[in-house]
Amino acid sequence: MRLGFVAEEIRVGFRRNFTMTIAVIVTIAASLSLFGAGLMVREQVSTMKDYWYDKVQLSIFLCGDNSQVPSCSGGAVTPEQRRAIRQDLLDQAPLVDAVYYESKRDAYKRFVKQFENSAIVQNVSPDALPESFRVKLSDPSQYAVIQSQFAGRPGVEQVQDQRKLLDKFFKLLNGLQTVALGIALAMLLVTVLLVVNTMRVAAFSRRREIGIMRLVGASNWYVRLPFIAEAAVSAFLGASLSAGVLAAIKHFGIDQRLAPSYQFTNFIGWDAIWRIIPFVYAVGVGIAITSSALSLRRYLRV
């Protein structure tokens, strides 16, 4: 294989087919950017899940003086009830991984810290927040086991799976991800059609050369390789553009905007970007190579 010769053929092909090549590069860049953005959202969901599921799990709020639910009819939780609940929780090992007790004062402190810039703090007295057990489960999906055992028990006001609160948010992110990946899929389809068409035009514009190559006995790959390589190079350039877009989203969007404004949670790191980018390259170049090879089978029969 004469690489220099093939490289020259690619260069000539690019120049001859300049507008189509630009169209291919831009389309590939746009579709891969969407595709990569979809993957980033997915990474974000999974990072946040890791982060939050680790922190918030299950809260068992205990009765206070003013609790209205039936299980609190005996008034505030007694020290015996509290001790019994803790013991029963610990007996649930290994499902129950750890149990933290949060007193009214701890709850108040956390509340104050969380809302330190807000006027709401002045309206809440240290007594108003319920004491609770924070329970960490080894398998968070087994939430119902604990729920059925402790809900309605005297001294327990409410058993709350805090993951449910987050799930709404995750659903939103998942929806975003589906939309991004759906559009990306449509765009990739457009890319395939565009590459197929570009190959047809390219094959037509070089029909003299191809005719001579066939006559003198050039092998199939020698005839097709310049075209396929041309498509692959376009895809590579498009993927590079989209890699730039993804890096820009990470740098300008996440690091400089989202992260400072939403400090309560974490965001995907550069490691996720470095995982996504090679994937984006592989998908882009792979699609270009496959669709050009398939279309050339039709247009370049020996």
Partner 1 sequence: MIKLEGVSKTYPSGANAALQDITLEIEKGEFVFLVGSSGSGKSTLLRLMLKEERPTTGTIFVAGKDLNRLPSWKLPALRRGIGTVFQDFRLLPNKTVEQNIAFALEVIGRPRSHVKKVVPEVIELVGLEGKEKRYPDELAGGEQQRVAVARAFVNRPPLLLADEPTGNLDPTTSVGIMKLLDRINRTGTTVVMATHDSNIVDQMRKRVIQLHHGEMVRDQARGVYGYLT
**Using CB under 8 A as the criterion, which residues of the chain lie in contact with partner 1 when the complex forms?**
1-2, 4-5, 208-209, 211-220, 222-223, 302
Cβ closest to partner 1, residue 222 vs residue 299 = 222
- Residue 226 CB, nearest approach to partner 1 (Å): 10
What is the C-alpha to C-alpha distance for residues 17 and 22, in angstroms, rounded to an integer?
A: 9
Cβ closest to partner 1, residue 206 vs residue 250 = 206
E strand or H helix at 137? strand 132-137
Cβ closest to partner 1, residue 6 vs residue 181 = 6
Give 217-239 as a DSSP string. Answer: T--HHHHHHHHHHHHHHHHHHHH
What's the CA dihedral at 111, 116, 121, 125 to 10 degrees?
50
What is the C-alpha to C-alpha distance for residues 261 and 254, in angstroms, rounded to an integer?
A: 10
What is the C-alpha to C-alpha distance for residues 16 and 211, in angstroms, rounded to an integer?
A: 18
- Residue 198 CB, nearest approach to partner 1 (Å): 21
- Residue 181 CB, nearest approach to partner 1 (Å): 39
- Residue 210 CB, nearest approach to partner 1 (Å): 10
- Cβ–Cβ under 8 Å, residues 297 and 229: no
- Residue 1 CB, nearest approach to partner 1 (Å): 6
DSSP strand pairing (58-62 vs 132-137): antiparallel
133 forms beta bridges with 60, 101
What is the C-alpha to C-alpha distance for residues 172 and 24, in angstroms, rounded to an integer?
A: 32
Cβ closest to partner 1, residue 114 vs residue 219 = 219
- Residue 6 CB, nearest approach to partner 1 (Å): 9
Cβ closest to partner 1, residue 86 vs residue 214 = 214
DSSP strand pairing (156-161 vs 96-102): unpaired
Cβ closest to partner 1, residue 51 vs residue 222 = 222
